[in-house]
Structure 1
Amino acid sequence: MIELFSGLDAWVVISLILALTFVLAFEFINGFHDTANAVATVIYTKAMPPQLAVLFSGLFNFLGVLLGGVGVAYAIVHLLPVELLINVNTGHGLAMVFSLLAAAIAWNLGTWYFGIPASSSHTLIGSILGVGLANALLNNIPLADGVNWQKAIDIGASLVFSPVAGFLAAAVVLLILKKWRPASKMHKTPDQRKKLDDKKHPPFWNRLVLVISAMAVSFVHGSNDGQKGIGLIMLVLIDIVPSQFVLDLTSTTYQIERTRDATAHLNQFYQRNSATLGEFLALGKASDSDLPAQSSCNPKQTEPTIHALLGNLEGVADYHTLAPEKRIEVRRYLLCLDDTAKKVSKLPVLDARERADLDKLRKDLTGTTEYAPFWVVVAVALALGIGTMVGWKRVVLTIGTKIGKQGMTYSQGMSAQIVTASMIGLANIFALPVSTTHVLSSGVAGTMVANKSGLQGGTIKTILLAWVLTLPASMALAAGLFWLASKVLGT
């Protein structure tokens, strides 16, 4: 990490340290804000002592970040339009990062203070969208181009669909358990268990399932939410220290060759489909002088971009041998080619097989730009894991006692946790960010309805209000802060 600070001006070093601190603070707050949801049922049902549950949850959050990959991280990053991502500028990057993080942290702390199970995912995504839209307004860019709307729609759909699916799936799982074992002790609440059986803890097998499913929720929470922090740190590093992070400098010769080969094969792909793609890409019409501008990408510049990228990568076996400005140039070309390929893949003229080939080429094309250094992963894992171990009591009380009119039974806790872990695990596979908070609280609500326990209207309204307000509130706050920061920094 020491090389981060070599050759940097003092103000840049201070800005970098502050920006990294902000990201890790967000993950720390995310830990005690969201992980309360992961351990709420296991604590409320007395399956584990609170301190032990939180300790183990922190450990599994840590492991989830370490083993989670970077798919969700770059899904978050690519909410911003490619033009904003290729415009590497220290002042602009600082304004963007500090604005969205300050907005996300402020909203998270506020909802935590009042014990509201609001979503860190919604908060972060809203903040990113707010920065993107504010940037468009400040630079006279059409709002349609201010955000990667297709990615925003995909992520929005996953955030909306997952709580509904959690509600229904948890209700179904509970009904199956009641049908299978209607007289089982797992359908008792902790208070009923204490009063009728004079037992403090759930029956052994129920307790085991509650513990395992709670740790599974913690693990998938770490792998999903931890990646959001990884994506934020990579935004910070690329904007503030571009020469060292625009490309993965640890890439092997083989990985660089794969990038070069993917570029050549992409060119062959376009030539093979020139009859249908020629007009969209201006094949054979653009000259090699028509390269992407410093801050924009255009599909009609695809051929010159491919030729320039192949020229830059010719004979390169180690990215360290490229001059810093060449690294930035290579990244810009790669992002533009990937952005165009993504647009091409959505054209109706391509058949399914060609579309699948193009998707494979895109993965190889971005192999050395979508990455995260190991120290970044460890730092985020530690921040999330340590954050897990504090501040959990407020939200546990809401999840365990204030959603339903009656206390939660063991079977309800198991149903909600199993569904939550499964759904977030699936989201990780498809690189979609989802909200642990909303999936679990919706799952608990679903089991309350299925159990005919009824719902507490006040709590449900509060949770729904936070769900509805989080996105626009964080967007507005981040947009306002970005406008202010841009004026102060003169970006």
Structure 2
Amino acid sequence: MTTILVLTILVVIFALAFDFINGFHDTANAIATSVSTRALRPRTAVYMAAIMNFIGALTFTGVAKTISKDIVDPFVLDNGALVILAALTAAIAWNLITWYFGIPSSSSHALIGSIAGAAIAAAGFGILNYRGFGKILQALLISPFIALFVGFLMMSLFKVLLKNRNLFTANTRIRYLQIGTAALQAFTHGTNDAQKAMGIITMALIAGGLQAGDDIQLWVRVSAAAAMGLGTSVGGYKIIKTVGTKIMKIRPVNGAAADLSSAGIIFAATLLHLPVSTTHVISSAIMGVGTAQRVRGVNWGVAQRIVLTWIITLPISALLAAIVYKVLALFL
């Protein structure tokens, strides 16, 4: 068995591990509002999210193709399997650190920053596909602001529609609506986030000379979807607590507005083949909803901590991946 084949197999294992961790790290965001408003019990929400994530992951492949070729061209990347292995190691490490402390950081930022950092360490800054990389960064940076704005508009619309309704009765009915919005949220998460691992595996297969085109093979799609679904079933209650309770006090109407806003934005990004951070989008939508409800009702201290983590994730993961690559290169 050649070194390239061994490294490629390790990449597949680490990519599926990343998807598994993403399942309990990021999917918690998708069901946080429905759990915090008691529309769903935590265990029920987690299992429902696992199923919807699996279905969503099998439905689309556009984001996977973007990840596989728009950051770095795998056809010209020397020692590509080692680069990707280093990137995955760094991204997994950062995800576990932030999960341990209950911080809803972005797995997307961690993965994309790690790929860029490891590739630069291997071949210099010229290896980056700046046009594709720039497009991805724009989507990652702009989507939270769009979510903030759409969340504000959605909550404002709900306030108008429910102006003359009994609040208790309305919240009871909307709590049932939240079951559907949480399922939609989990489905859109699968359509975008699970594809990132598919793109990584495809990138490794191309770099290792085991695949000629950028099509996403069926076994890659099924294994990545299954890994995310299993990860989701483990749950992510620390993240649920932060997103669902610490940003603002969420009532059913707030949760439904946030879910509909973020799900729409994530799905639109999927249709445009753009990877976005579901963490960023969901948290920003909640902030927008809270601002429309009452500006002082948002815990801006927690919001600042979340935003700070968003900012530092990409450069830290890039640096960490570069270090991991240099260490691995000494032995492999």
Q: Specify if TM > 0.5.
A: yes
Q: Give the CA deviation at 1:12.
A: 5.2
Q: State the partner residue of 1:24.
A: 16
Match runs of 1:149-160 below 5 Å: 149-160=130-141
CA contact (8 A) 2:65 2:216 kept: no
Matched, 1:245 2:211: yes
1:23-51: CA deviations, max 9, x gaps? 10000000000000000011111111111
Match of 1:181 in 2: 162
Match of residue 75, structure 2, among 75, 83, 86: 86
Q: Is the 8 A contact 1:47 1:210 kept in 2?
A: yes
Q: After TM superposition, give the deviation of residue 93 of structure 1 in Å.
A: 2.4
Structure-1 residue corresponding to 2:109 = 122
Distance 1:23 1:185 in 2: 49
1:66 and 1:432, CA in 2 relative to 1: closer, same or farther beyond 3 A?
same
> Among residues 438, 452, 456, which one is paired with 2:280 in the alignment?
438
Q: Is the 8 A contact 1:116 1:398 kept in 2?
A: yes
Q: How does 1:161-240 map to 2 (within 5 A)?
A: 161-185=142-166, 202-204=171-173, 206-240=174-208
Residue identity matched to 1:410: P
Distance in structure 2 (CA, Å) of the matches to 1:135 and 1:423: 35
Distance in 1, Cα, partners of 2:103 & 2:77: 38
Q: Separation in 1 of the partners of 2:288 and 2:16?
A: 34
Change (3 A) 1:185 1:110: farther
- Does residue 40 (structure 1) correspond to residue 32 (structure 2)? The answer is yes
Say if 2:134 is the partner of 1:146: no
1:375 corresponding residue in structure 2: 219
Cα gap change, 1:128 to 1:14, in 2 (>3 Å): closer
Structure-to-structure mapping, 1:7-406, within 5 angstroms: 8-9=1-2, 14-68=6-60, 70-82=61-73, 85-87=74-76, 92-137=79-124, 143=125, 145-185=126-166, 202-204=171-173, 206-240=174-208, 242=209, 244-246=210-212, 369-404=213-248
Write the distance in 2 (CA, Å) between the matches of 1:13 and 1:132.
19
CA root-mean-square deviation: 1.9
Q: C-alpha displacement at 1:486, in angstroms?
A: 2.6
Report the Cα offset of residue 18 of structure 1: 2.4
Pairs aligned (count)? 331
Which 4+ residue blocks in structure 1 deviate beyond 6 angstroms? none
Alpha-carbon offset, residue 13 of structure 1:
5.2
CA distance in 2, matches of 1:185, 1:382: 43
Aligned partner letter, 1:64: G
TM-score between the two structures when normalised by the length of structure 1: 0.65
Q: TM-score, normalised by structure 2?
A: 0.94
The 1-side partners of 2:132 and 2:89 are apart by 23
Q: Return 5+ residue gaps in structure 2 as ranges.
A: none
* Separation of aligned partners in 2, 1:396 and 1:184: 30
Contact in 2 for aligned 1:31/1:386 (Cα 8 Å): yes
Could you tell me how far apart the structure 2 residues matched to 1:114 and 1:25 are?
20
Per-residue deviation, residues 242-275 of structure 1 (Å, max 9, x unmatched)? 2x422xxxxxxxxxxxxxxxxxxxxxxxxxxxxx
Offset of 1:212 from its aligned partner? 1.1
Unaligned runs of 5+ in 1: 1-7, 138-142, 187-192, 247-368
- Rounded to whole Å, the distance in 2 between the matches of 1:38 and 1:133 is 33
State percent identity of aligned pairs.
37
2:264 aligned residue: 422
Rounded to whole Å, the distance in 1 between the matches of 2:326 and 2:56 is 35
* Cα distance change on mapping 1:24 and 1:185 into 2, 3 Å: farther
